[in-house]
A = this chain, B = another copy of it.
Amino acid sequence: MTNTLLILPGDGIGPEVMAEVSRIIDWFGDKRGLKFDVSEDLVGGAAYDVHGVPLADATMARAQEVDAVLLGAVGGPKYDNLDFSVKPERGLLRLRKEMDLFANLRPAQCFDALADFSSLKRDVVAGLDIMIVRELTSGIYFGEPRGIFEENGERVGINTQRYTESEIDRVARSAFELARKRGNKVCSMEKANVMESGILWREVVQRVHDADYPDVELSHMYADAGGMQLCRWPKQFDVIVTDNLFGDLLSDVAAMLTGSLGMLPSASLGAPMANGRPKALYEPVHGSAPDIAGQGKANPIACILSFAMALRYSFDQGEEATRLEQAVEKVLADGVRTADLMQSEGTTPASTAQMGDAILAA
């Protein structure tokens, strides 16, 4: 079986962190006999600059064919005033939607060597390892009607939250499956006290649980309380499953808690393709960080760990993924630090490429 990869570096620091991933991909080919057939293309502002759209149709078609898409980051101030329909983000959202990547896996993990870097107290975050499963193809991100309309002599901005039973069902299953391989606990978050879509969400998650995953411990929490509890004592959670918009906020909060924002990967998975592999896109949780782009300051670890997730979830190479993750941990334990990470006695400042070097060496 060939292993096909589409690399979309995107904007801002995307290209420079992705360059380090490319070196790692080559290393696996050279040293581990794990060959990838890699193509590269544009997304976001970079695509807009060339094609006038944030994702060309040919790129979209290619993304549908490959085993995995690796994406860097999209967006930047240069594109802030573009029309909504061609903003860099639309390229990413189109990929998610048309590939039907409904399950967004966002691990929030606190790297031991970085626990003191969090704004939270060490004992609150040290050893933290939770997984947020965010629904990624529906909800208020995609619901119709949407837009800005004229009504009674003024404009009104409208977006629609919509969830069907089957959309909730499938992402709940992803969460329960994952939980079984981890702490066997799922907490589902919505606002069922205020939103009917939350009522349906809660009901379907409970039904999927009772029918097929009674062995997994399930709890429900209102999303506002969930945000609070993430800040108070995040270790109470194992897997959190939530909708697209709550997942956007809560996963960012969780990521920040760990103090490891530049370190966190994500996987967005869809249904299995003909070859049995799921449709998949991997991207760091961090954004395009235009303020430091092009200066060799960016931390490539989140993007590298996203490739590790690709090894695990797309290519069934769990052991190689662990190998890569361990190399990252070793480098951190050795004190190698890009500019976003805390320097202290005994640590060594590193550029983006030097971090790549260190991980390759490890």
Contact = CB atoms under 8 A, between A and B. Distances in A.
B232 A252 contact: no
A48 to B, nearest CB: 14
Interface in A300-345: none
A4 to B, nearest CB: 30
A96 B322 CA distance: 52
Given A225-B252, A252-B227, A196 B159 contact: yes
Interface string A184-198: 000000010111111
Contact of A151 (B157, B164, B287): B164
A86 interface: no
Interface residues of A, number: 60
A93 B194 contact: yes
A295 to B, nearest CB: 21
A256 B245 CA distance: 21
A175 interface: no
Contact of A75 (B156, B193, B196): B193
Nearest to A200: B157
A195 B159 contact: yes
Interface of A: 75, 84, 87, 89, 93, 119-121, 124, 140-141, 143, 146-148, 151, 154-166, 191, 193-201, 223-225, 227-228, 230-233, 245-246, 248-250, 252-253, 255-257, 261, 287
Counting every copy of the chain, the complex holds: 2
Given A120-B121, A146-B196, A256-B232, A158 B160 contact: yes
Given A75-B193, A191-B248, A257-B231, A157 B147 contact: no
A148 B196 contact: yes
Contact of A156 (B146, B155, B163): B163
Given A194-B141, A223-B249, A252-B225, A231 B119 contact: yes
12 contacts: A84-B196, A119-B124, A140-B161, A148-B200, A155-B200, A156-B200, A157-B161, A157-B162, A157-B196, A159-B160, A225-B252, A249-B250
Contacts of A165: 154-156
A199 B157 contact: yes
A224 B134 CA distance: 14
Nearest to A156: B164
Contacts of A157: 161-163, 195-201
Nearest to A125: B119
A313 to B, nearest CB: 24
B233 A255 contact: no
A190 to B, nearest CB: 9
Contacts of A194: 89, 93, 141, 248
Nearest to A88: B193
